[in-house]
Amino acid sequence: MLPLRHAPLWRLLSVLLLILVLAAMLAPPGWLSSGSSVLSWFAHGDKLLHGLTFIVLATWFAGFFERRRYLALAVWLTVFGLVGEACQFLVGYRTADWLDIAANSLGILLGLGIALAGLGGWGLWFENRYSRRTQH
């Protein structure tokens, strides 16, 4: 992990983010939109939502780790996505889908690509910028 001054806070926020994502993955269909699909206007909107979610997760976690840890991060996020799909399989009102897993994986790759393009380590950048502002 990067040498973050507020690592316990980042860990807490990360756990809360993962809980939120898992809760959304296990929520009854239509929980956001009174029974109709949130993205019903878009074919495969669910896949888009999976991909965007994992882009955010990959970019979020890449903010706290060195580039050499990105492969482990990709594996860990893939496992998290598989666990989410397994949980969806176990509840009666959701279905697991291989295309969701593919969308998750693509999101992870795109998120880590964003991190490699310059957004990786954003947590350390944010802490350094914030600490400079509070010192003035």
Domain map (residue ranges) of the chain: 63-136
| Neighbouring residues of 130: CB distance < 8 A, sequence distance ≥ 6 | none
What's residue 130's pLDDT?
Answer: 86
Dist. CA 72–CA 16, nearest whole Å? 21
Show pLDDT as tens, one digit a residue, over the chain (136 residues).
Answer: 999 999 999 999 999 999 999 999 999 877 655 445 545 555 678 899 999 999 999 999 999 999 999 999 999 999 999 999 999 999 988 989 999 999 999 999 999 999 999 999 999 999 999 887 666 5
Tokens representing 53 are 């979610």
Q: Is 9 exposed, middle or buried, given 0-12, 13-18 or 19+ CB atoms closer than 10 A?
A: exposed
Q: How far is CA 85 from CA 50, 69, 104, in A?
A: 11, 24, 10
